[in-house]
Chains A and B, each alone.
Chain A
Amino acid sequence: MREEIINLKNLAIGRITDTDDLAELEAVKIDYLGRKGKINALLSNLKKADPGERKDLGQLINETKQTIVATLERKLQDSLPKSSENFDPTIPGIKPKIGHLHPTTIVIKEMFDIFGHLGFSIMEGPEIETDDYNFGKLNLPHDHPARSLQDVLYIDEPEILLRSHTSSVESRALDNLKQPFRIVVAGKCYRYESVNASNNAMFYQFQGVALQAGISMADLKGTLYYFAKSFFGRERKIRFRCKYYPEVEPGGGLDIDCIFCKQTGCAVCKGRGWLEMLGCGMIHPNILSNFSLDPKKISGFAFGMGLDRIVMDRFGIKDIRSLYNGDIKY
């Protein structure tokens, strides 16, 4: 029996040292140390042994068991994954190239989403426009200040020009869309301007138009408040006041509190404490009539704002030229 025990021990140690497989080690454990394992089998055979040898043999079995347990444990320890000694988590990573969106795109997308929640569709129109769509149909009579040659870029004077505002898309919507409709527009506009840090010949505008029987100034105000609170933040203060634009009657304007000085007055808000954000109002009855709509039966509102200033404020850009000349570092 002594020989049997020594053989068993050698076999078990052999199996353990020969493998790195955890499943095999688990099998060895069950084979030898399990309830019905080989060690227990030896112990139950002990009573058949010579009574004089029983004590020694019992000791030998115990030693064998302990050797197997210890070997097995050491092996299990050894087969766990180990950290390399010179691992350095402070080494700089190799970054994959990430693409970025332009700040103007980000702002437009955000605004489109907000107005999307209010049932507005997105619309576009040509940048090369006719005088009629840009001015004539919009209650901007021939001698309105905005029409002077100084302000507009002409391609074929006086009929073809680069749109000076996104209101031209309002003309096209009133001309082409079936009412009721709600649309928002974002796009490039152009004006005669010498280029400097705060003026550019090309600029972005954002425009909205809603036409539907029953729309009132209250809908305009509610829509713009919803937008302003969503876009600028609930904590911002808003001021809605009377303002004149030939395209609307009644007309209004929305101002937002100056965050640069917390309304104490600074250069950005010219000491006013408020920043002018957008112009708006109910679509002028003359415009509705221009598109064969009866102002007494259907009404609508329109609003428009310059985007570049909003983008610059949002992203801390100081010079308008850097928006569109590739100076922005991503």
Chain B
Amino acid sequence: MRIPLSWLANYVNLPSKLSDLTDALTSAGHMLDKKESVDGDTVIDLELRGNRADCYSILGIAREVSALFATPIRLPNLYKKLSTTRQLTEVSLHIHSPFVRRAMLTAIKNVRIVTSPDWLKKPLLAYGIDSVNNIVDLTNFVMVETGEPLHAFDLDKIGTNLAIRIARQDEKMLTFQGKTVNLDKNDLVWVNKTDVLSIAGSIGEKNHSISDSTKNVLLEGANYDRVNIRRTIHRHNLMTEASIRHEKELDPGLVEEGIYRFLYLVDKYDWGQLTAQVADYYPSPVKPWSISLSFDYLNTLGGVNPGPNKVKTILKGLNFKIKNETKNGLVVICPPYRTDVTLEEDLIEEVLRIDGYDKIPTRTLSLEIPPIVTPAYVGQEENFRTAAQSVGLDETITSSFVSEKYHKFNQYLENANVAPIKIVNRPSPDNEVLRLTLLPNLVAMTQKVINERGHQAGFFEIGKVYFKQKDYCEKRKIGIIYWQKDSEPFTKFKGLVESLLLKANIEKVSFGRQNINNPRLTNTYNLLLDKTVIGFGGQNGTIFYCEIDLDVLVGKHQKTVAQLWPKFPPQIEDITLTIPANVSVGEIVTSIKQTKYVTATELIDTFENYYTFRLWYQDPSKTLTAKEVGESRKSLLSLIKQKFKAKIK
């Protein structure tokens, strides 16, 4: 809220240095947003706390300044109390809704509409409200000064029978700003026999408002259920000076203050003739409430102990009344406008913020360290990240949503019958459907690389996929995507995935042919650890993709054991085989690995259906003789010949 300092200075002495004022207000919860100069007056714009309805006024801020700088406040003059009545003689008001907590009315006759004098016009202008005429300006002035929104009707235009009720469906009202509002059964309105006169708490109707020809005025001040007002102003986009106050928890007592302040100023400047009566509808007056404060609790929660005298000074400075006092604590009565203070913890905050948050000491949790409860998958994700990074993949984080263009890729890989989860109130079509696999967004990124830049793309993402079976499910996956300009063979991608898994200490993963339910992928396969499926992979054009389920892999990693070089040297030899097309090379590799003395094998070359394997024969306890190796080779080759009809070159 904008606070013109010359206006504020009417009620409280300000420190001579502006930054002393704004620093103190910022620290106490009203952050300085910006400051500017309007017509020689400094205006500070404070970001106010949503629960401080009382601070949306110059007086509210003056009370804060008074408490912060321990300086007295000069309250504005009010008109003397008039006799209250149920109904005015000029007009009756019937209230048909529990959302009205209080409503006050009074008539002002023979009003003199004039151009506003400077004392009225200038502060409003600095605040940001343009001048209309003295009566309209005065309602605004009192609202900004006290925080109570007031409304002035043209008494001669509104008839004699008024009511506040819930609007009828599709009832319409033209605001004085010229906007037509289509009301519904949730909106609270002021009406007469035929027309809607105003939307409660936010804006008046055009033809019943004050004009230059207005002779008699009906002044109203009210307090409503803020939730109802809030809904209405958001539904119809009716942010006004009145509504930003009414949507907060205002003190119903403020209604009276606003009305009598208005009457005082009308009387003082002779802008109209006051009537003797005020109608006041206030079915359940707010009773004063008290809160106890324990000094011990202040110390244990606040971490600071200013001492009983300081605490009392602070609370008194904020207009709390000390009802009771012991050596352990206080019982205080809250000022009625402090609708945000209802609990002992609220009081503690009051003490801390006026004393200053800078007085709170800094302790670094000087308590016993609680047990560590970090789940295992946190370390697992970190291992996979390191592993993926070490094989040269770049990490990416993509949206949990799948953009419209890539919906066709969004198929759950494990089960065709899983539909994606959708947002019911999507902000845009690209933020509507949750991903069932990391594939669509990784493909989108890779295609971007293919189309726009680079000759190679290798990404991984660790993230969740979302689906509904019986319940809503979230599964953690790692998606690996790879593309290279001059089409790379599958073996290169597979090697990358294998190295990644080995680096993450997941050993003995095998790849097997498997149809999966994503028509966008060809050459599909699954990944198995023992007999458990841990992931799926396939190809989209020249892009390779593989997705591994991290949840099933938790705890499946091998412990790292340091290995030493064997003491006895290996015998290394290359064998070239012709393998029939119907035989899986993987099975041959398995046979080779099962051969006596063979400790490792690698496929080092392929040409047409020729496959060259390199074999390491080794024994940990001796150097193998040519005879021992020869026997081993012989048994391997005869097995391969028999079982796979493979030929030795």
Contacts and interface: CB of A to CB of B under 8 A. Distances in A.
Interface of A: 96-102, 104-105, 109, 118-119, 121-124, 126-128, 143, 145, 148-150, 153-157, 160, 162, 177, 179-183, 188, 190, 192-195, 201-202, 210, 212, 214-223, 225-226, 239-244, 246, 249-253, 270-272, 282, 284-285, 295-296, 299, 323-326, 328, 330
A119 B365 contact: yes
B326 interface: no
B391 interface: yes
A97 to B, nearest CB: 3
B28 interface: yes
Given A150-B234, A215-B367, A242-B349, A296 B400 contact: no
B185 interface: no
B138 to A, nearest CB: 31
Interface centre among A188, A214, A249 (most CB of B within 10 A): A249
B171 interface: no
B633 interface: no
Interface string B441-471: 0001100110000001011100010100000
B395 A102 contact: yes
A217 B385 contact: no
Contacts of B631: none
Contacts of A127: 400, 464, 466, 474
Nearest to B372: A121
Contact of B362 (A97, A105, A193, A222): A222
A219 B299 CA distance: 12
A299 B370 contact: no
B34 A270 contact: yes
Contact of A244 (B51, B299, B389, B464): B51
Given A181-B373, A219-B365, 5 more contacts: A221-B362, A242-B352, A249-B345, A326-B445, A326-B449
A242 B445 contact: no
Contacts of B374: 121-123
In the A-B complex, list the 6 residue pairs whose CB atoms are closest, starting with the nearest. Answer: A218-B303, A216-B303, A97-B392, A250-B349, A326-B445, A99-B389
A102 B424 contact: no
Nearest to A154: B424
A100 B345 contact: no
Interface stretch (B201-209, B425-433, B549-557): B425-433
B400 A188 contact: yes
20 contacts: A99-B388, A104-B397, A119-B365, A122-B378, A143-B230, A149-B425, A155-B421, A155-B423, A156-B424, A181-B370, A210-B365, A217-B302, A218-B302, A219-B363, A223-B364, A270-B33, A270-B34, A272-B31, A324-B397, A325-B399
A182 B371 CA distance: 9
Contacts, number: 240
Contacts of A220: 303
A192 B424 CA distance: 11
Contacts of A96: 392
B423 A153 contact: yes
Contacts of B449: 326
A104 B395 CA distance: 10
Contact of A124 (B49, B375, B430): B375
B578 interface: no
Interface centre among B52, B365, B374, B378 (most CB of A within 10 A): B365
A128 B385 contact: no
A183 B299 CA distance: 24
A96 B456 CA distance: 13
Nearest to A112: B378
A149 B392 CA distance: 44
A160 B421 CA distance: 11
A252 B397 contact: no
